[in-house]
Amino acid sequence: MVNKTDFTRKTILTMLRNSSEPLSGEKISGKIGISRVAVWKQIQTLIGLGYEISSSSAGYSLKESGDHLYSWEFDREKPNYEAFRELDSTMRKARELALKGCPDFTTIVAEKQSNGRGRGSKSWDSSEGGLYFTWIIRPDLPLAFHYIYTIGATAVLSRTIADLYGVETSSKWPNDLVSPAGKVAGILTEMECSGEKINWLSLGIGINVNNRQTEIDRTSLRDMLGSRIDRKSLLTRFEQDFRKTLRHEAPQSIRSMWESHSSTIGSSVRLHSEREGLLQGIAMGITSSGALRLKNGSREQTALFGDIYTKKQENTQ
């Protein structure tokens, strides 16, 4: 069943977008079947959510449609979907909802974050124009396979971007999506477990879409394409592809998919991990537990996580 408030806002915006002249509150109220005061309240709410709506004696006008991610902006209803103008972190909000028992694949999205989280103690620049969201998943897989969600999301996102825009990106272990121009996206995972069972897993994803980049090691899809990207289309297609992959692919297949999209595999790697210390070698792949396999001469080592620096081998052996 379509949410009544969402339907009202969608109808108001559609009327404003399709009109070449200002629309009076009376005309809008007559179309929707609500009072003029209720129309005014909805207009004020939409302005607070970032829509550029002006009012005059002639009525209301939408200055710019914008690129918004609220539920009423999508062609089809999005169940278990919450969008915000701003959050400190979609991961924090997701944890709050997960602990309250929200449904599988609940989505939390924000136009911007004031305290976007990266891996470890790092932050994620979350200015307007990017795509910042968290999926709350209640997995069927045991704890040992939790990493499948991170590498699966990275590999699927790479494939989705290539299919939609013809832009080639690659997975960088453990949780980044990169291009020759810089980092495009990052993925963060948090979960709660009972023994070997995952109660819930939050997959936080930040994608540089239309947002301006201030760090030299990052780029955006807009920078690479030279034009703005419709974030709704990207989010919708990515979710469809990811859910299909989780339904139909086994963990080994997902590992192979990640390796085939990886810039790390086959590279000379220097890796610093708090647990394993400084490791160096050629990245050979990932193990069944998600650890990176490194080969240094005849010696092979593994690392579950860490900061990694790669240099593509000049001579393939």
37 three-class SS: helix
Residue 204: its pLDDT value, please?
A: 96
64, 88, 114 — which closes off a domain? Answer: 64
Domain boundaries, position 23: 4-64
Q: Please name the amino acid found at residue 227.
A: S
Structural domain contains residue 253: yes
Q: 41 and 99, same structural domain?
A: no
Residue 49's CB is within 10 A of a number of other CB atoms, namely 15
- For residue 80, the Cα-to-chain-centroid distance in whole angstroms is 16
Residues in Cβ contact with 205 at an 8 Å cutoff, skipping those fewer than 6 apart: 131, 132, 133, 134, 135, 153, 157, 185, 186, 187, 188
Same-domain check for residues 60 and 86? no
Render 146-202 in DSSP notation, one character per residue.
THHHHHHHHHHHHHHHHHHH----EEETTTEEEETTEEEEEEEEEEEEETTEEEEEE
How many separate domains does the chain show? 3
Q: Are 5 and 41 in contact (CB under 8 A)?
A: no
What is the per-residue pLDDT for 314? 39
Residue 120: the pLDDT is 55
Please check whether residues 12 and 51 belong to one and the same domain: yes
- Say what the pLDDT of residue 221 is: 96
Name the amino acid, one letter, at 116.
G
Q: Are 268 and 310 in contact (CB under 8 A)?
A: yes
pTM comes to 0.90
Residues 39 and 156 in one domain: no
Domain boundary among 13, 30, 64: 64
In this prediction, residue 317 carries a pLDDT of 37
Domain boundary residue among 14, 41, 64?
64
Note whether 213 and 197 are same-domain residues. Answer: yes
Distance CA 133, CA 135 (A): 7
Q: Which amino acid is at 152?
A: G
Contact 155, 246 (CB under 8 A): no
DSSP state, residue 119? S
- Tell me how many degrees the CA angle 62-65-69 measures, rounded to the nearest 5: 130
Q: Would 317 be classed as within a structural domain?
A: no
29: CATH: 1.10.10.10
Kindly tell me the burial class for residue 238, based on how many C-beta atoms sit within 10 Å of its own C-beta (0-12, 13-18, 19 or more).
buried
In tens digits, what is the pLDDT along the chain, a chain of 317 residues?
Answer: 568 899 999 999 999 999 999 999 999 999 999 999 999 999 999 999 999 999 999 999 999 777 899 999 998 888 999 999 999 999 999 999 999 999 999 999 999 998 776 665 566 677 889 999 999 999 988 898 999 999 999 999 999 999 999 999 999 988 899 999 999 999 999 999 998 899 999 999 999 999 988 777 889 999 999 999 999 999 999 999 999 999 999 999 999 999 988 989 988 989 887 777 888 999 999 998 888 999 988 899 888 878 888 764 333 33
